[in-house]
Amino acid sequence: MSKIDYAALLAQSTDLICVLGAEGQVLEANPACMMALGRDKDALVGAPFVDLLHADEAVACREALVSVEACSFLARLRAGSAVRLSWRLTPWVDGCRLCVSPPVIESSQATSVLLTQLARHVPGVIYQYRIRADGSSHFPYVSERFEELFGLPSSVVKEDASPVFARAHPDDLPQIMDSIERAFDSEAPWHCQYRYYLPDGRMRWHEGNATLTYQVDGSRLCYGYISDITERHVLERALEEERQRLSNILKGTHAGSWEWNVQTGELLINERWAEIVGYSLAELEPISAATWERLVHPDDLARAFECLNAHFHGKQEFYSLEFRMRHREGQWVWVLAHGKVFRWTSDRRPLMMAGIHQEIGDRKNAEAALRRLATTDSLTGLWNRRHFMQHLEQAFVRYKRYGQSAAVILLDIDHFKKVNDVHGHAAGDSVIQHTAYVLTDWCRNLDIPARIGGEEFALLLTDTGEDGGYALAERIRHALEALEVPFDDIALRMTASFGVSAMSKEDASHEQCMRRADRALYAAKHGGRNQVKVDKERASGTEDA
């Protein structure tokens, strides 16, 4: 290539191109590179390439420069722009290296396409938020559920973000704006929870997360995700209220008291202490610290000693811990222990310590009930969609890591709307409940049955491939077809359509398996209903248009 051709190539390319010498210094840079870096030719030529990168990338860059093979790495510019660019480093002539990065606009377009694809499969809003150099802001991109979460059409905020901030709770707006600025200042991810008013006056809790970048034109970009956490917030508040209520109840009950000579191991306890674990004082004698150690759950004993030592060394003002103790009848009893050293030896070793034991089984059960409330469907008692998707993701990890097979069955009750229209919603609820009974009867303990929509259900089958999933779906289909649901003085009949998919080594995520099952279900619905289909057009059953 002639010198003229070479110069023309550099000048006309939209890619960012640097020619590096054998020592890693910049020998030449094209106009696109100089514009992106915010430096003229005099400032670039002769400068070490490492100086153009974020300090965290320096080691990787030096290793790349001495490599004899082509390699790639991500570097964030330290001067002029904070945009992360993908540099491709390639050996060139006379020991030089050619360093090339796509233009920033291409990276942004690719990110936008990726966000759009991901947005179709998440419950919240994926967005791009831009703060212009003049301080104004807008949302260049929001996913399809934006209007559902914010009550505004996406077109309203494409050029001006102020309508969104105008509906934020007045007490939370300063926190939102301050948190964004702090995140940019600290170069940390943004996270914020805030209240938001919909146009109909309802108040919702939102949670936002984002990663932040600086752009060449002086603007700042946030790529993030916002979800509605109102349900979670209500549950957390209910849990906190329940904890407070139980705390007040426990204050009015008898507590087990104890006094411990830390140096000798002598332990004095009252009758209630013994009663909590199902004994009388006489039955526990002789009583010492070894008595307590013998009764504490082995998995909790190490934590208890860690907590005691933290108190002994002044790291905690009080000894406070929840642990399990073995009841006389064999079950484990949850106990909340509080205590404090009240006397020390002359050389500051703990001598005498006193405290109480409170039985907290009711509180633990209440917390478990709240956890169940957050993960189960109230009408059927099956797992809800959130819990199902969490287990599906875990099954995908096991499949990728250990090769443990798993299959998904999706089923949708046929003509369910007609049941509601003709017989009422109570009849529809009864049909849904009886469908859940059938699923539970056919599931193993290790399977995950869930109600994931109005009349839509899902099954996650562990250690099961496509054939096994298909066979089980057929059995369930026949069971539902034969089912009579009693309602008032009639017996309701029903059928369902099924889609089956097994995890594949080509899957990049658990969602791909779910999408295949959904496509198969769609095919079953449109192929006549009351049948099972897999992704390979395998079907059976009867036609029931």
Q: Which CATH architecture has domain 376-541?
A: 2-Layer Sandwich (3.30)
Residue 110 has pLDDT above 70, yes or no: no
Tell me which of 180-189, 244-253, 279-288, 417-426 is least confident.
Answer: 244-253
**How far is Cα 359 from Cα 415, in angstroms, rounded to an integer?**
52
CATH of domain 107-228: 3.30.450.20
Please report which helix (H) or strand (E) contains residue 115, including its range.
helix 104-119
Fold: same for 3-102 and 376-541: no
Please report which helix (H) or strand (E) contains residue 265, including its range.
none
Residue given tokens 């051709």 in the structure block: 5
What strands, in cross-sheet order, belong to the sheet with 448-451?
A: 448-451, 456-462, 406-413, 496-502, 531-534, 539-541
Neighbour count for residue 310 (Cβ, 10 Å): 13
Tell me if the bond preceding 102 is cis, omega within 30° of 0.
Answer: no
376 contacts: CB under 8 Å, gap ≥ 6: 382, 383, 384, 387
Tokens of 37: 């870096």
Which of the four CATH numbers 3.30.450.20, 3.30.410.40, 3.30.1340.10, 3.90.550.10 does domain 255-365 have? Answer: 3.30.450.20
Any idea where the domains of the chain sit in the sequence?
A: 3-102, 107-228, 255-365, 376-541
**490 φ/ψ angles, rounded to the nearest 5 degrees:** -125, 165
pLDDT at 538: 37
Which comes out higher in pLDDT, residue 496 or 79? 496
Band (pLDDT 50/70/90 cuts) for residue 540 is: very low
Q: Quick one: what percent of the chain has pLDDT higher than 70?
A: 88
The yes or no reply on domain 3-102 and CATH 3.30.2000.20 is no
Mean pLDDT (whole number) for 318-333: 95
Neighbour count for residue 318 (Cβ, 10 Å): 12
Give the pLDDT confidence of 28-80 residue by residue, as tens digits. Answer: 888 888 877 777 888 888 888 877 776 666 777 777 777 645 555 555 554 44
Amino acid found at 163:
P
